[in-house]
Amino acid sequence: MSVKAEVLAILEANREEHISGEELASRLQVSRTSIWKAIKALREEGYEIEAANNRGYCLPQTNDLLNEEGISLYLNERASGYPLEIYKILDSTNTECKRRVIDGAPHGLTILAEEQTGGKGRLGRNFYSPAKTGIYMSILVHPAFDGNDAMLLTTAASVAVCRGIKEVLHKETQIKWVNDIYLDGRKICGILTEAISNFEMGKIDSAIVGIGINYRTEDFPEEIRDRAGSLEKNGEHIPRNQLVAAILNAFWEIYDTLESREFIKEYRERSMVIGQQVRLQENGEWKEATALDIDDNGGLIVQMEEADGSTGKRVLQTGEITLRLKTGLL
């Protein structure tokens, strides 16, 4: 680890506390000049490191650039050890993961970006993701199950995001089937899972779980701001590094027991559609239905009128429909 990275790790672990250059130099067994150069380099990268005479250097809570040192500080033993890469700007973290798969990227690679110029949502929609407004991350996995279980990754990631938000921010969230997270009636997070399949074997070689979270929307265009929710309320501080770590901790905990489907119970409990009258768009036509339950594979069980006039139950899989609550929530 470079001196710069070690200095950042110490400041991250002691946020809001001043640490003298002399103490930093002593801890790292380097010269004061090396510490000064490291601080200078960090400031050039955007870290607003404060300096006070006779007190030293301090990284305030309000300075919340995503960084490996800050995230690693909160990762548990299970989630540690996977490669973690952070970029100022990417077209899309999912797209970057796809490029890395071609190069043989390892299981567990996690890519984050401060800004995306081509963020993607389901059904080819754009995901607005400018700088300083959200958390944009993708997790690469090489799963050992077939395509029929692929939706479990999306449902697992949904539960992981909800757990992370509750742990760090003490806020309760809901899930709109299959991949949207809501807070106080507004969407704050979307999840997009993309699979790279081996058709001959009928298996998934790789899957990319993309997570996009809004934590601040005050600078969004009005047409987006009116319907987008955010984690931040009344200027409160959102510790993004800690939140990313909490989500990763939860994701890998669930991933280890994915095939047991134990987490589906929590997914059901957080569902905002079970028991609701919903409208389904199928083949360009809107249909009425009642959402009854979520099955153990993450499918939405609905009761609806079929073309012949009969009423029956169906299990809907992701990608088949666009779902809207009658209340107007997207």
Higher-pLDDT residue of 124, 251 = 251
What's the rounded Cα separation, in Å, for the pair 238 and 252?
A: 22
Residue 130's pLDDT is what? 74
Q: Range with the lowest mean pLDDT among 40-54, 115-129, 273-287, 299-313?
A: 115-129
With contact defined as beta carbons under 8 Å apart, do 52 and 58 qualify? Answer: yes
Judge whether residue 330 has pLDDT over 60.
no
Identify the CA nearest to 97 among candidates 111, 85, 87: 111
Could you tell me what percent of the chain has a pLDDT over 70? 88
Angle (CA) 216-298-140 rounded to 5° is 60
CATH classification (class only), 277-325: mainly beta
- Segment of 152-156, 221-225, 285-289 carrying the highest mean pLDDT: 152-156
DSSP assigned state of 173: -
With contact defined as beta carbons under 8 Å apart, do 6 and 28 qualify? Answer: yes
Judge whether residue 111 has pLDDT over 60.
yes
- Written as six digits, the tokens of 208 are 């990319």
What's the rounded Cα separation, in Å, for the pair 176 and 276?
A: 11
Give the containing element (helix H, strand E) for 87.
strand 84-87
Judge whether residue 86 has pLDDT over 90.
yes
What's the rounded Cα separation, in Å, for the pair 231 and 237?
A: 10
Q: Which amino acid is at 195?
A: A
Q: Which fold has domain 68-269?
A: BirA Bifunctional Protein; domain 2 (3.30.930)
- Written as six digits, the tokens of 118 are 């081509």
CATH classification (class only), 3-58: mainly alpha
Domain ranges of the chain: 3-58, 68-269, 277-325
